[in-house]
Amino acid sequence: MTDVLIVGGGIMGLWAAVKAVRAGLFVHLVERERIGAGASGGLVGALMPHMPDRWNPKKQFQFEALASLEAEIAPLEAETGLSAGYRRSGRIMPLGKPHLRTIALRHEQEAVTNWHQSGSTFLWNVQDSPDVIGWPAAEACEHGVVLDTLAARVFPRSFLNLLKTWLERQHDIIVEEGTGVDRLELGCGRATLSDGRVITFDHCILANGVDLFKTTDCVTTSGLATPPLGVPVKGQAALLDAGIDPALPVVFQDGLYIIPHEGGRVAIGSTSEDKFDEPLSTDAQLDVLIERARAFAPCLRDAPVIQRWAGLRPKAIGRDPIAGRHPDHKSLHLLGGGFKISFGIAHRLAEAVIDRISGKAAALPPSFELAHHFALRR
């Protein structure tokens, strides 16, 4: 008997396991392929806040998560001797049109009101030019730039390896790769694994990326034909060997991210494709993105591409993440659908789910709750 069966070895499942172990629960985590085989095993790792305007519970939750992540990572790094590739590098955004500067100046004041917590204040600074010449190119910054000091980055694969290594050193957990769940019997708390073994559990957390949407439909008992809770969105990214300062801020404009990582590497990402034929292969759309990045940051023009990546990211039906107990099954909990913001908030989502399993109160934004997502698909 295990207290918590976790299905999925991406960022959501790993954080759920960390939080469960710390809560004194016995955990069995299964991953059908390998840790990070899905969207979590990408290259980008941008930890970007929402705009500081029109403040709401969702933005407050994400802000608190981003502000707390560094303190969550530090003890894991200290205990394992590994790095998550975390750096609060900030984000720079060029202002190519006059009206964008006007909007940015308004956001600057809104950040003063909304971006502060526990003595820490983060800024949305409007500047006439970048601090580093060519980062980004001057022609893109005709009306100045914004530098926000809340944004950060991790290197996804390093982060996953950090969490996996920490978990493997704990006593109250089993981590299995190459093992999936073929059948869930929620009424009696039984799971049949892909190798035929049967395990029993008190609670099950589905954190299996895009498969979360299909699995959820299989266990819904309402009998109604409803749209899925979310859809897969293909993303493509690349890693360049640029030899640049890893302390440079992330560059962002119109969906293009340029993320300096340790060792002088730079990640370029990512596409967002609702329609695709080959979910795990890269194509000309990535080439276009790389060329945009080279034009945007001249120091990347001769940097060789050392890796290309494609994968499917889970986007929930209302775009907000999904976290909480399934309305038809008290033992089943869902965790996923974070799309582009998962790495920055997974620790807080997992904490809320584990707190509820442990009988503690845990507040989540109403738009994250399962009831909200189920209502959207009626």
Domain match, 250 and 309 both: yes
Q: Identify which of 13-27, 227-241, 311-325 has the greatest average pLDDT.
A: 13-27
pLDDT band at 20 (very low <50, low <70, confident <90, very high): very high
Residue 118: partners with Cβ closer than 8 Å, 6 or more residues away: 67
Task: Find the helix packing angle between 57-80 and 342-357, rounded to 10°.
Answer: 90
- Same domain for 282 and 194? no
Tokens 């790389």, located at residue:
290
Q: How many domains does the chain have?
A: 2
- Rounded to an integer, the average pLDDT of 9-24 is 98
Task: Say if residue 351's pLDDT is above 80.
Answer: yes
Specify the pLDDT at position 216: 64
Q: Which residues pair with 260 in a beta bridge?
A: 266
- 79, part of any domain: no
Does 221 or 117 have the greater pLDDT score? 117
Asked if residues 296 and 85 have their Cβ atoms less than 8 Å apart, the reply is no
> Are 49 and 63 in contact, with CB atoms under 8 Å apart?
yes
Residue tagged 């069995």 (tokens): 28
Cα(273)–Cα(291) distance, rounded to whole angstroms? 18
End-to-end CA distance of the chain: 36
| DSSP 8-state symbol, 87 | B
Nearest to 123 by CA among 101, 140, 104, 136: 104
Q: Give the residue with greater pLDDT, 226 vs 350.
A: 350
Residue 116 sits in the same domain as residue 133 = yes
Please give the pLDDT value at position 256: 96
pTM: 0.95
Count CA atoms closer than 13 A to 72's CA, side-chain side. Answer: 22
Strands (E), 40-83: 46-47
- Domain assignment of residue 272, yes or no: yes
Per the domain annotation, does 73 fall within a domain?
no
Determine, yes or no, domain membership for 258.
yes
Range in 193-197, 219-223, 254-258, 345-349 with the lowest mean pLDDT = 219-223
Q: Are strands 256-260 and 230-241 parallel, antiparallel or unpaired?
A: unpaired
Together in a domain, 300 and 266: yes
- Helix crossing, 11-22 with 156-168: angle to 10°? 30
Inform me whether the pLDDT recorded for 222 exceeds 50.
Answer: no
The pLDDT of 259-285, averaged and rounded, is 97
DSSP for residue 224: -
CATH number of the domain at 291, please.
3.30.9.10
Query: Same domain for 114 and 259?
Result: yes
Same structural domain, 222 and 299: no
CA 374/CA 216 separation, integer angstroms: 11
pLDDT at 225 over 70: no
Q: How far apart are CA 260 and CA 267, in angstroms?
A: 7
pLDDT tens-digit readout, 170-218: 999 999 999 999 999 999 999 999 999 999 999 999 999 999 988 765 5
242 and 273 belong to one structural domain: yes
Are 226 and 255 contained in the same domain?
no
Q: Is the pLDDT of residue 221 over 90?
A: no
Summarize the confidence of residues 32-55 as an average pLDDT.
96
| Domain range for 97 | 89-152+231-316
pLDDT in tens, 115-167: 987 778 899 999 999 999 999 999 999 999 999 999 999 999 999 999 999 99
Asked whether residue 211 falls in the same domain as residue 283, the answer is no
Residues paired with 252 in a beta bridge = 257
Identify whether 71 is part of a domain. no
Rounded Cα–Cα distance for residues 39 and 233 (Å): 10
Give the separation between CA 324 and CA 94, rounded to whole angstroms.
Answer: 38
Looking at the fold, whether 29 and 136 belong to one and the same domain comes out as no
Q: How far from chain centre, in Å, is Cα 339? A: 7
Residue 218, pLDDT score: 53
Residue 1 pLDDT grade (very low, low, confident, very high; cuts 50, 70, 90): very high
* Residues 241, 221 share a domain: no
Instruction: Please state, for a pLDDT cut of 70, what percent of the chain lies above it.
Output: 96
Structure-block tokens of residue 135: 């980062």
User: Of 314, 341, 312, 329, nearest to 370 (Cα)?
Assistant: 329
Where residue 28 sits, what CATH number does that domain have? 3.50.50.60
Q: Yes or no: say if 343 and 73 are a contact pair by the CB < 8 Å rule.
A: no
Residue 214 lies in a domain: yes
> Do 15 and 144 belong to one domain?
no
Q: Residue 54: inside a domain, yes or no? A: no
Q: Judge whether 206 and 337 are in contact, CB under 8 Å.
A: no
For 312-333, the pLDDT digits (tens) are: 999 998 889 999 999 889 999 9
Classify the C-alpha dihedral 207-266-46-81 as positive or negative.
positive
The span from the CA of 291 to the CA of 356, in Å, is: 47
Residue 127 within a domain: yes
Q: Flag whether pLDDT at 239 surpasses 80.
A: yes
Mean of all residue pLDDT scores within the chain:
94
